[in-house]
Amino acid sequence: MPFPRIIGTGFHVPENVVTNDDLAKTVDTTDQWVRERTGIRERRWVAPESGVGPSDLAEKAARMALGNAGVGAEEIELIVFCTMTPDRLLPSSACLLQAKIGAVNAAAFDVVAACSGFVYGLATVESFMKTGRYNTVLLVGAEVFSNRLNHEDRTTTVLFGDGAGACVLRNGAEPGGILSTHLFADGSQHQVLWVPSGGSVAPPTVERCGKKEMFVQMQGPDLFKIGVKRFCEAVDAALAHNGLSPEALDCFVPHQANARIIEMVQRKLGLPDAKVVVNIDRYGNTTAASIPIALHEAVTAGRIQAGSIVLLASFGGGLTWASALIRW
């Protein structure tokens, strides 16, 4: 059986920095209020009306990952694009990205699993690669969430940012790489975090737009409590499956939803700060892009090296939660 490994990472975020003080000019919030509840001090948003989509951000992240992996775009056999804010309903953002980077030999499709999208995508890629169907794959998480927010709602507008992260994976003969992936969902609680309108059940209308039904809605306190529980379940599943204790981890890369959730999971695991990657203070919640962005920064900083045991975990709308364990 081949062993899929991540051989290159990359990321890209917009240049436009939006601080908590910037938001306080238009919505009822303060820098202190946002920091105390979320740990966020700034986020990156594409310029309004710029026409920049997630595939544009993903193109730069993908080119960086390909360069770091030493792989040409024509060598990519499959592109899996994880997003909940696609450029268009048709075509997929994966197909747009394929054209932009010149991956002429690649199949391409999108994965929608909200904040758990990247780990869901990793599990999808793992399955394809372990069968030998594809040997060189590009996995991307990218979002432009800033234009999906009700900027009069401080509970959501302060949380989300735009960005993209990418990984190149290639099969190897040596054991290691992706050790296991674990996916979970509970659709009965989808209204805790959802967009009420915009799909085929409730298509866009002037009335629905006026009621701001096209924007993300969240039941914050409920989501926080559920998130902590499900985050821990995903972590426990990965460790138990591989017969490992938290002490065996070299690096924990959690989804960057809320710094307080990360702190609670970190305390449960008993991990020191040096083993936990946190960048939510600078980027906010970039949903499907948050884990690959954090993963790239950890690799670049030398926090992840050959042989490192790395745990990824996420929780998001759907509801979905997921984890993956990797030997680098």
39-53, 79-93, 198-212, 281-295, range with the lowest pLDDT:
198-212
Closest CA to 83 of 113, 107, 39: 113
Backbone angles phi, psi at 243, to 5 degrees: 65, 40
Contacts of 227 (CB under 8 A, 6+ apart): 257, 258, 261, 315
Radius of gyration of the chain (CA): 19
pLDDT digits (tens, 9 = 90+) for 77-127: 999 999 999 999 999 999 999 999 999 999 999 999 999 999 999 999 999
* CATH 3.40.50.150 is right for the domain spanning 3-174: no
**pLDDT for 197 beyond 80:** no
What pLDDT does 310 receive? 98
- Taking residue 290's Cβ as centre, other Cβ atoms within 10 Å add up to 29
| Distance from C-alpha of 146 to C-alpha of 123, rounded to nearest angstrom | 27
**pLDDT for 226 beyond 80:** yes
Contact predicate 111/93, CB 8 Å: no
**CATH 3.40.47.10-classified regions of the chain:** 3-174, 179-327
Q: pLDDT-based confidence at 186, cuts 50/70/90?
A: very high
| Distance from C-alpha of 229 to C-alpha of 20, rounded to nearest angstrom | 28
For the entire predicted model, the pTM comes to 0.95
Residue-by-residue DSSP string for 222-234: HHHHHHHHHHHHH
Give the fold, CATH level 3, of 179-327. Peroxisomal Thiolase; Chain A, domain 1 (3.40.47)
**pLDDT for 214 beyond 80:** no
Backbone angles phi, psi at 39, to 5 degrees: 85, 0
Contact predicate 82/48, CB 8 Å: no
The pairing of beta strand 309-316 with beta strand 320-327: antiparallel
Please list the alpha-helical segments (H only) found in 251-317. Answer: 259-269, 280-283, 290-300
CA angle, residues 3, 4, 5, in degrees to nearest 5 = 115
Coil vs helix vs strand at 64: helix
Coil vs helix vs strand at 218: strand
Torsion of CA 108, 109, 115, 120, to 10 degrees: -80
21-30, 72-81, 205-214, range with the lowest pLDDT:
205-214
pLDDT digits (tens, 9 = 90+) for 239-257: 999 999 999 999 999 999 9
Contacts of 145 (CB under 8 A, 6+ apart): 85, 160, 161, 162, 216, 285, 286, 287
Q: Give catalytic residues, as residue numbers.
A: 115, 255, 285
pLDDT digits (tens, 9 = 90+) for 19-66: 999 999 999 999 999 999 999 999 999 998 889 999 999 999 999 999
50-54, 147-151, 286-290, range with the lowest pLDDT:
147-151
